[in-house]
Amino acid sequence: MHLYLHVPFCARRCSYCDFAIAVRRVTPSDEFADLILAEWRRWASDAAWAGFPELATLYLGGGTPSRLSADTLARLLDRIVADRPLAPGAEVTIEANPEDVTPALARAWHASGINRVSLGVQSFDPGVLTWMHRSHTADQVPRAVGAIREAGIANLSLDLIYSLPPELLRDWARDLDQALDLAPEHLSLYGLTVEHHTPLGRWVERGESGVATDERYAEEFLLAHRTLTAAGFRHYEVSNYGRPGREAVHNRAYWRRAPFLGLGPSAHSGVGARRWWNLREWSDWGREVRAGRSAVAAEEELGPEAIAMEDLYLGLRTSEGIDQELAPGSEARAWEGAGWAVREHGRIRLTPEGWLRLDALVASSLA
């Protein structure tokens, strides 16, 4: 059983963000914990989870989970783990913004059982951070990393965003080097996407911001691959790099269609062929949970074709690839001939050049 808690609160909305967040000057930590635990009690006793007595991973995402108070976070995790103990060596992750991390807070995280931090860096360029509406400064990043290390948390992931508008003149190679200087165990790299209902979407519509070309996207994706693999990282999933043994266990559960439970607004869950997801907005989700009702917005049962498509897409996202029987023979041979895939030990996996064409390759194999 893999558990995800969505903490929606943020100090401000980033220019590119289309996530389910709630901007608050003061984070209602205790109210959030009370509601999460009420929702947890409904699901912890559900028959769907009876066969899963332990938590393999626990992940606090957002939003900005690092805005929760240390005392509230400890109460939340203590109650959940009392009901479902952590499996030996379980990964417990919190997403954090650099400006929130203090030595005292990092120590409190460690004491509450958190053993992995995913730090939202995005860039080290001050101008880029301002454009992104990020609330941290570049010099807060190494201070946050130092506090995390001093607290005894030995598994650190950094998030960066690439393929930014050309007018920002962002030096992607320099950002990668600065990230490596901090000696993380893991990096997650995401290409910028323009969502319509965001500040960035409105800037692009009004012609106030450009969009990176496909060529620029590909160049920066491949530069990251060369730089990070040369530094000893495994490019084990389209957007993720880890030192050997430091791959994200929680995220790998999604790609392998392991059972996962999501709590909080907009959180998704799945077990077997069943999928369901919560109401998106904090206020709507909280109203239903407070009233003792289910906060599930909708659900679906995947049929055989949908499961096969999911297996194909999720498998090709990873360095493990797929069983060669899952891909049509003619398609697989064409991918190999173009340098987009390799066949090893009865499995087909995409090369970095193939990952750049992932959606198109999956679509062509299903046509």
pLDDT of residue 49: 84
pLDDT of residue 108: 98
CA torsion sign for 135, 107, 113, 45 is negative
- E strand intervals along the chain: 2-7, 9-10, 22-23, 55-62, 86-96, 116-122, 156-162, 186-191, 234-237, 240-242, 260-263, 268-271, 274-278, 296-301, 322-323, 341-344, 347-350
pLDDT of residue 331: 83
Cα–Cα dist 39/263, whole Å: 7
Cα–Cα dist 317/255, whole Å: 8
Burial class (CB in 10 A: 0-12, 13-18, 19+), 19: middle
What's the DSSP call for residue 318?
A: B
pLDDT of residue 48: 79
Tell me which H or E stretch contains 222: helix 214-230
- Condensed to tens digits (0 to 9), the pLDDT of residues 318-334 reads 999 999 888 877 788 89
SS3 281: coil
98, 136 Cβ separation under 8 angstroms: yes
Cα–Cα dist 58/91, whole Å: 6
pLDDT of residue 367: 64
Cα–Cα dist 212/190, whole Å: 13
pLDDT of residue 261: 96
> Which pTM value belongs to this model?
0.95
140-150 vs 103-111: helix axis angle to the nearest 10?
Answer: 40
Domain boundaries, the chain: 2-255, 308-366
The CATH number of domain 2-255, selected from 3.30.800.10, 3.20.20.70, 3.40.50.300, 3.30.70.2190: 3.20.20.70
pLDDT of residue 44: 84
Low-confidence residues in the chain, pLDDT < 50: none
- Condensed to tens digits (0 to 9), the pLDDT of residues 46-105 reads 887 888 999 999 999 999 999 999 999 999 999 999 999 999 999 999 999 999 999 999
pLDDT of residue 329: 76
pLDDT of residue 363: 84
